[in-house]
C-alpha cells in the first residue's frame, strides 16, 4: 500500500530537492572558477639573493650573521626558506657541497633586516658562510659572496689615527690611512666603514653620520690604504671618519676626524686626443673617441658638442663650423664613444671636432680634428611635380633606387604616400619645406612609412607633410598610428620638415 503524502509534505520535499540541486551547481561552479583562476604556468622565477650579508658578532662557540631579505620572485614578495651553508677553514667549492645549517628562521618580506646565530662551533676557529633563498617551487637564488667569521676572536681591530686626504678635485679626493689588522694590528680586517657629516665625527656622533657605500679592499695591518671617493659636490666641506670591522663582527675605534674642503668646479674635462672619422656610406660619417671625465680624466662629463668644417676645426673657426645634433650622452671617463653623423655633404672632405662640457659649464679644449672624405650617393634620382624627372613619382623613384641612392625632389605638391621599402635612401627636397609638399589627404595611411628595417643612413629632409590620416592597425577599433610618419621598425633621420593638418580617427596614436 502506497503511504499517503500530504500536499505540504510534498511541497517541502520538492523545495528541499531544488535547494540541494542549486547548492550542488554552486559548488561545481566555485570549483571550476577556482581551477580557472590558477595559472598553469610553472613558477620559474627564482628569489633575489639576500644582500648585505656579514658577520655581526661572535663568541667562543657562536657566530651571528646579518643580512637584508630578498624577494620571492626577484625582489618581490617573500621567499619560502633560506639555505645557509658553513665551511670551516676555507670557502667550499661548490657551496652546495658544504654542510647546511639547520633551524633557520622563515624569511621576512623583501628589504627587511634579518639575523641568525649559528651555535655549537669550535673555539678559535675560522668559518666561512654563504646564504641563498628558495621559493615554494624550489627555485633558488644565487649564493651570497662568502663571509668569514672567527670564534673566540680576542680583540677588535686597532683604531685608525692617520686618516688623511690627497688629490683634491672638485668632485673627488683620495682617502688615505694605515690599515689596522683583524686583532689590533695583527692580521687583516674584513671591511672598512666610512662615514661623513657636516659636523665633527666623534665616538658619540658616529651613529648620526652618513654611511657611505664603498668597498675598500682590506689590506694587512700596517699596509698603506688609499681609496678614491668620486661623485662628490664641488665646493663642499665635510667631515670624514673610518673604522674597521673584523670577522667576529667587532669594530675598531672611530678614527681621527678628517675635514675635507673640496675646491669649486673650475676644472674642465680633458681634451679628446683620439677623435677618428670614417665614412661607411653615402652622406654618413662615423666618429669614435675616448670619453674624457668631468674633471680632467676623472668622472663623467655632462655633454658633448660636435662640429664639422671644410678645414681643420680649431679655436679660430669653431664658432663658424657646422654644429651636429644627436651627440651621445657622455659615458664614464675612459669609455669608448661612437656617433653617427647623418646627413653630411657627400663627395666632400670634412674635418670634425668635439668639445666636452662638465656640470659646472666648464668646456674642454677642442679635440684633435680628423678628416674624412664623405661618400656620395651611388645614384641621384630627380623627381619633378610634372613627372618629367628620372621617375614619374617619388614612390616610383624609391622602387627603382637602391640603398645609398638619393632621391632629389623638385618644388611642388605631391599627392602620394611614401614607403621606403627597407632601403637606406636619402629623400631630400631641392628647395625646402616652403616649396615642397607631400600631401596625404587623398590616402588612408601615413604620409611616410618605414616598417621594413630601414638601415642607418635613411634620411627625410626638407618637406612639408600635410593631411596624413595615419596607418590603420586595428579595423575593429579604428586604432591608427603615425599621421605624418609611421616608423615602427626602421631607422630615420628627420631634418628640416614641417608637419601640418593631420587627420586622425577617433581612436588613434598621433605622431
pLDDT in tens, the chain (511 residues): 444 444 444 434 444 454 445 444 444 444 444 444 444 578 888 999 999 999 999 999 999 999 999 988 877 889 999 999 999 999 999 999 999 999 999 999 999 999 999 999 999 999 999 999 999 899 999 999 999 999 988 889 999 999 999 999 999 999 999 999 999 999 999 999 999 999 999 999 999 999 999 999 999 999 999 999 999 999 999 999 999 999 999 999 999 999 999 999 999 999 999 999 999 999 999 999 999 999 999 999 999 999 999 999 999 999 999 999 999 999 999 999 999 999 999 999 999 999 999 999 999 999 999 999 999 999 999 999 999 999 999 999 999 999 999 999 999 999 999 999 999 999 999 999 999 999 988 877 889 999 899 998 899 999 999 988 777 666 665 566 767 898 888 888 999 999 987 665 433 343 3
**Structural contact between residues 414 and 393, judged by C-beta atoms closer than 8 angstroms:** yes
CA atoms within 13 A on the CB side of 314: 3
Per CATH, is 51-150 categorized as 2.60.40.10?
yes
Q: Where are the extended beta strands (E) located within 121-171?
A: 126-134, 147-150, 164-169
Measure Cα distances from 225 to 149, 160, 162, 257, 463 in Å: 23, 11, 11, 17, 63
Summary count for the chain: helices (H), strands (E): 2, 36
Q: What is the pLDDT of residue 97?
A: 94
Query: What CA–CA distance (Å, rounded) separates 249 from 255?
Result: 17
pTM: 0.67
Q: What is the 3-state secondary structure (H, E, C) of 288-301?
A: EEECCCCEECECEC
Query: What CA–CA distance (Å, rounded) separates 317 from 307?
Result: 10
DSSP classification of residue 204: T
CATH topology of domain 276-373: Immunoglobulin-like (2.60.40)
- CATH of 164-261, picked from 3.60.20.10, 2.60.40.10, 3.20.20.80, 1.20.1440.230, is 2.60.40.10
- Break the chain into its structural domains and give their ranges: 51-150, 164-261, 276-373, 380-509
CA atoms within 13 A on the CB side of 347: 7
CA atoms within 13 A on the CB side of 75: 4
CATH topology of 51-150 equal to that of 164-261? yes
**Structural contact between residues 64 and 101, judged by C-beta atoms closer than 8 angstroms:** no
Radius of gyration of the chain (CA): 36
Amino acid at each position: 500500500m502506497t503511504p499517503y503524502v500530504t500536499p505540504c509534505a510534498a511541497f517541502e520535499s520538492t523545495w528541499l530537492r531544488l535547494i540541494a540541486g542549486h547548492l550542488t551547481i554552486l559548488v561545481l561552479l566555485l570549483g571550476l572558477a577556482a581551477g580557472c583562476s590558477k595559472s598553469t604556468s610553472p613558477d620559474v622565477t627564482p628569489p633575489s639573493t639576500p644582500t648585505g650579508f656579514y658577520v655581526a658578532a661572535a663568541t667562543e662557540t657562536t657566530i651571528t650573521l646579518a643580512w637584508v631579505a630578498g624577494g620571492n620572485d626577484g625582489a618581490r614578495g617573500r621567499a619560502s626558506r633560506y639555505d645557509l651553508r658553513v665551511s670551516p677553514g676555507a670557502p667550499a667549492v661548490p657551496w652546495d657541497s658544504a654542510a647546511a645549517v639547520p633551524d633557520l628562521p622563515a624569511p621576512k618580506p623583501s628589504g627587511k633586516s634579518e639575523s641568525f646565530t649559528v651555535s655549537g662551533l669550535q673555539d678559535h676557529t675560522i668559518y666561512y658562510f654563504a646564504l641563498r633563498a628558495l621559493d615554494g617551487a624550489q627555485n633558488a637564488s644565487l649564493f651570497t659572496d662568502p663571509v668569514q667569521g672567527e670564534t673566540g676572536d680576542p680583540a677588535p681591530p686597532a683604531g685608525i689615527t692617520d686618516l688623511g686626504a690627497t688629490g683634491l678635485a672638485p668632485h673627488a679626493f683620495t682617502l688615505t690611512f694605515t690599515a689596522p689588522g683583524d686583532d689590533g694590528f695583527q692580521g687583516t680586517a674584513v671591511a672598512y666603514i666610512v662615514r661623513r657629516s657636516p659636523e665633527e665625527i666623534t665616538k658619540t656622533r658616529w651613529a648620526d653620520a652618513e654611511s657611505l657605500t664603498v668597498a675598500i679592499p682590506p689590506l694587512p695591518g700596517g699596509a698603506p690604504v688609499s681609496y678614491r671617493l668620486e661623485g662628490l659636490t664641488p665646493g663642499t666641506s665635510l667631515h670624514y671618519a673610518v673604522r674597521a670591522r673584523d670577522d667576529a663582527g667587532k669594530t675598531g675605534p672611530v678614527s681621527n676626524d678628517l675635514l675635507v674642503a673640496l675646491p669649486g668646479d673650475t676644472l674642465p674635462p680633458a681634451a679628446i686626443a683620439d677623435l677618428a672619422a670614417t665614412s661607411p656610406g653615402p652622406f654618413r660619417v662615423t666618429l669614435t673617441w675616448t670619453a674624457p671625465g668631468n674633471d680632467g680624466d676623472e668622472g663623467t662629463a655632462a655633454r658633448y658638442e660636435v662640429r664639422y668644417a671644410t678645414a681643420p676645426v680649431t679655436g679660430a673657426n669653431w664658432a663658424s663650423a657646422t654644429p651636429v645634433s644627436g651627440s651621445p650622452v657622455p659615458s664614464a671617463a675612459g669609455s669608448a664613444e661612437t656617433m653617427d653623423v647623418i646627413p653630411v655633404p657627400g663627395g666632400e672632405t670634412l674635418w670634425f671636432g668635439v668639445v666636452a662640457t662638465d656640470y659646472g659649464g666648464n668646456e674642454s679644449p677642442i679635440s684633435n680634428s680628423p678628416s674624412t672624405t664623405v661618400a656620395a650617393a651611388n645614384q641621384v634620382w630627380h623627381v619633378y611635380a610634372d613627372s618629367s624627372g628620372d621617375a614619374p613619382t617619388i614612390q616610383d623613384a624609391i622602387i627603382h633606387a637602391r640603398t645609398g641612392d638619393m632621391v632629389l625632389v623638385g618644388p611642388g605638391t605631391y599627392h602620394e604616400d611614401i614607403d621606403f621599402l627597407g632601403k637606406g635612401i636619402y629623400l631630400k627636397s631641392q628647395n625646402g619645406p616652403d616649396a615642397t609638399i607631400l600631401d596625404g589627404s587623398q590616402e588612408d595611411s601615413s604620409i611616410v612609412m618605414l616598417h621594413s628595417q630601414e638601415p642607418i643612413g635613411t634620411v627625410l629632409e626638407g618637406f612639408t607633410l600635410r593631411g596624413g590620416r595615419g596607418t590603420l592597425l586595428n579595423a575593429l577599433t579604428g586604432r591608427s598610428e603615425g599621421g605624418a610618419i609611421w616608423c615602427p621598425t626602421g631607422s630615420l633621420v628627420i631634418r628640416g620638415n614641417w608637419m601640418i593638418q593631420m587627420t586622425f580617427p577617433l581612436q588613434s596614436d598621433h605622431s
